[in-house]
């Protein structure tokens, strides 16, 4: 039987791919887009592909949009919307740092809270969070994003235990580096403010992101987590990223403050 699935951040990247993939599999997909032009574009793209999909405006920061979404009855919330702002921790403007947490942490939690309450009353439901490998390891020059995903990991770990007695599942998906454009523009974002003040530490080393994976791989994994009965609590992909996470988490116990 098909599920009713709400996807945030569905206009592009993983969200878009998962929305189309689930709709093709016969699920009722509600695709949330941040702005109206994205709503129009996604509706037309779905129609052109012969796919039935409900597309709504859902800016996760917008209280009106969230309230509108809470009127929907869903089986699965795919808490996927997110932003990336790069920069060294001693230089990144606090307004930029806060904006990352507003979207990736606070707005995502508000959505999860609202739908979790309805799921608890029904005794069933699943909340899938797009976390990141960055939520499990250190990421120099991308500390704001990594910190937000570490926060997501803490929230999900607590929610998983708190909601388990009520039949509500909470799981995470943790992508490595994939060619959606998210990482590329996230690296570029610091250029917006870097030259606007005196800097005491280095800019992110210039490098081409030429080792990213095909996003179709991660999209299939995400669809599997949404569809599968009793998925793992955490799904890290690709396998090389999981290996890196496990090694770094083991190595951190040996780290010393003076190490360079």
Q: Kindly report the CA angle at 187 between 133 and 20, in degrees rounded to 5?
A: 60
Q: How far apart are alpha carbons 209 and 179 in whole angstroms?
A: 9
Average pLDDT, the chain: 94
Q: How far apart are alpha carbons 53 and 30 in whole angstroms?
A: 6
Q: Kindly report the CA angle at 162 between 156 and 163, in degrees rounded to 5?
A: 85
End-to-end CA distance of the chain: 54
DSSP, res 23: H
Domain ranges across the chain: 4-254
Q: In this predicted model, what pLDDT tens digit does every residue of 50-65 receive, in sequence order? A: 999 999 999 999 999 9
How much is the pTM?
A: 0.94
Strand, coil or helix: what is 77?
A: strand
- The confidence score (pLDDT) of residue 27 equals 98
Largest alpha-carbon pair distance within the chain? 59
Q: In this predicted model, what pLDDT tens digit does every residue of 19-44 receive, in sequence order? A: 999 999 999 999 999 999 999 999 99
Q: Which residues are catalytic?
A: 145
Two tokens, residue 46: 């779905």
Q: What is the 3-state secondary structure (H, E, C) of 177-214?
A: CECCCHHHHHHHHHHHCHHHCCCCCCCCCCCCCCCCEC
- The confidence score (pLDDT) of residue 206 equals 62
Alpha-carbon distance values, 97 to 81, 94, 101, 153, 173 (Å):
17, 5, 7, 18, 23
Instruction: Taking residues 82-100, report their average pLDDT.
Output: 96
Please answer whether residues 130 and 173 qualify as being in contact, where contact means their C-beta atoms are separated by less than 8 angstroms: yes
CB hemisphere CA count around 14 (13 angstroms)? 29
Q: In this predicted model, what pLDDT tens digit does every residue of 125-157 receive, in sequence order? A: 999 999 999 999 999 999 999 999 999 999 999
- Say how many C-beta atoms besides its own lie within 10 A of residue 154's C-beta: 12
- The confidence score (pLDDT) of residue 204 equals 75
Q: How far apart are alpha carbons 10 and 33 in whole angstroms?
A: 6
Does residue 238 have a cis peptide bond before it, meaning omega lies within 30 degrees of 0?
yes
Please provide the CATH number assigned to the domain covering 4-254: 3.40.50.720
Instruction: Taking residues 183-193, report their average pLDDT.
Output: 90
Instruction: Taking residues 163-174, report their average pLDDT.
Output: 98
- The confidence score (pLDDT) of residue 209 equals 78
> How would residue 207 be classed by pLDDT, with cut points 50, 70 and 90?
low
């Amino acid at each position: 039987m098909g599920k009713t699935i709400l996807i945030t951040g569905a206009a592009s990247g993983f969200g878009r791919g998962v929305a189309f993939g689930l709709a093709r599999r016969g699920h009722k997909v509600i695709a949330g887009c941040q702005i109206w032009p994205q709503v129009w574009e996604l509706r037309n793209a779905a129609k052109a592909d012969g796919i039935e999909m409900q597309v709504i405006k859902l800016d996760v920061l917008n209280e009106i949009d969230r309230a509108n979404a809470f009127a929907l009855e869903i089986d699965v919330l795919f808490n996927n919307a997110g932003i990336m702002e790069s920069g060294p921790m001693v230089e990144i403007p606090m307004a930029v740092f806060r904006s990352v947490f507003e979207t990736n942490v606070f707005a995502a939690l508000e959505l999860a809270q609202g739908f979790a309450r309805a799921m608890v009353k029904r005794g069933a439901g699943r909340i899938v969070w797009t976390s990141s490998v960055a939520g499990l390891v250190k990421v120099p020059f991308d500390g704001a994003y990594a910190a937000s995903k570490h926060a997501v990991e803490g929230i999900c770990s607590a929610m998983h235990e708190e909601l388990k007695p009520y039949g509500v599942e909470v799981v995470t998906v943790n992508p490595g580096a994939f060619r959606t454009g998210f990482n590329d523009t996230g690296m570029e974002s610091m250029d917006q403010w870097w030259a606007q003040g005196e800097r005491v530490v280095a800019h992110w080393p210039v490098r081409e992101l030429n080792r990213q994976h095909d996003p179709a791989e991660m999209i299939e994994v995400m669809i599997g987590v949404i569809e599968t009965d009793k998925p793992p609590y955490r799904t890290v992909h690709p396998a090389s990223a999981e290996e890196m996470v496990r090694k770094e988490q083991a190595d951190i116990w040996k780290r010393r403050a003076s190490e360079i």
